[in-house]
Structure 1
Amino acid sequence: MSTRDEGGSGVSDDFKKAFRHHPAGVALLVTLHDGVPHGLAASSVASVSADPPMLSFSVTRTGASARALVAAEEVSVVLLGEHQARLAVDFATRGAPRFTREQGWHRSRSVLELDGAPLTLHTRTTCVVPAGASWLVLAEVTRIHHGEPAAPLVYHDRTYRTLGPPPVAEQDLHRT
């Protein structure tokens, strides 16, 4: 077991390694900014409040997609299913195809929709906070689109994964 001193680059490296071992659901953050679609893959989406329904996400300050997401009034948070790993890779890779018809994208009203997405949370940005080299965005959920149910796509240790069968039966979790 080892520890590092505060402020050193070792702490930053250890921090990144620590979160590689923390599995998280995968979402696409998408918006239309000045009529142009922008988006990226994220594992930083978190529930903040149920009343009113709010969520948060963070994006690094580099790149046009992050700037467009932060500048947008509305952002759609597309929660991906296990069958959408290739799409997550595309949205995490600079220069890869995004928003193609083959991927299932279309415009509905003034927002982007993804066919086959288990859930899409449409949000209105309420606050953007600079946080180190990132922005933390708070957004109120204004509408939820329920698609076809699917097991979630999870990101763990730089790999997209699916959840296997539970290690403990559901009824065993509730024993007193």
Structure 2
Amino acid sequence: MTESFASDVVAPGTFRSLMAEFPSGVAVVTAMDDGVPWGMTCSSLCSVSVSPPTLLVCLRAQSPTLSAILRRGAFAANLLHGGAREVAELFSSSASARFDRVRWTAGPGGPHLREAAHAIADCRVSRVEDAGTHLVVFGEVFDSARHDGHAPLLYGRRGYHRWPG
């Protein structure tokens, strides 16, 4: 016997409030497109599989960063450390010339924000799924780096926080 559920869904504001109660790490997802760096803050990132090593990111369908990722077929996930709140805010804003305001180096998947990240994963796009207002991009990790000594930056309850301890 299957239950029947109403076809209604919660309002977007209600859903945002619900998800604000689920803290997550913060990343800046980056890509290069014809020599131009692109990037955006992302808290919708998770591991999918260890073999092959795969993660996913959920990016707004109209994002120019997503367009660059799809054209290039690769991206970098810069996992931000607790002292990188300003970088997270910069890459979540509509500010132009974001990469002129931070130090970065070219990486095999996309720009690396080494001073702001405690870990970086370089990924090649292995699959893309439509999820309404966003696309889910699956990335097979082909290179990674960790910078020990930094605690992660978290986002929850509509604010940035440092990992305790």
Q: TM-score, normalised by structure 2?
A: 0.87
Deviation, 1:96, is 5.0
Letter of the aligned partner of 2:40 in structure 1? Answer: L
> Is this contact kept in 2: 1:29–1:69, CA < 8 A?
no
1:44-93 alpha-carbon deviations (Å, 9 max, x no partner):
01000011110001011123223222333110000000010100000000
Equivalents in 2 of 1:51, 1:160: separation in Å? 32
Which residue of 1 is the match for residue 153 of structure 2? 153
Deviation, 1:147, is 2.1
Equivalents in 2 of 1:14, 1:111: separation in Å? 35
> Is this contact kept in 2: 1:90–1:96, CA < 8 A?
no
Letter of the aligned partner of 1:18 in structure 2? Answer: L
State, as a whole percentage, how many aligned pairs show the same letter. 26
Which residue of 2 is the match for residue 174 of structure 1? none
Equivalents in 1 of 2:87, 2:97: separation in Å? 9
RMSD, matched Cα: 2.0
The yes-or-no answer on 1:22 pairing with 2:12 is no
Which residue of 2 is the match for residue 114 of structure 1? 113
Q: Secondary structure at the match of 2:77?
A: strand
Equivalents in 1 of 2:69, 2:8: separation in Å? 30
In the TM superposition, what are the counterparts of 1:21-100 in structure 2 within 5 Å? 21-95=21-95, 97-100=97-100
1:87-114 alpha-carbon deviations (Å, 9 max, x no partner):
00000000155223x5221225674222
Equivalents in 2 of 1:73, 1:36: separation in Å? 15
> Is this contact kept in 2: 1:90–1:97, CA < 8 A?
no
Runs of 5+ unmatched residues, structure 1:
166-176
Q: Which of the pair has more CA radius of gyration?
A: 1
Q: TM-score, normalised by structure 1?
A: 0.82
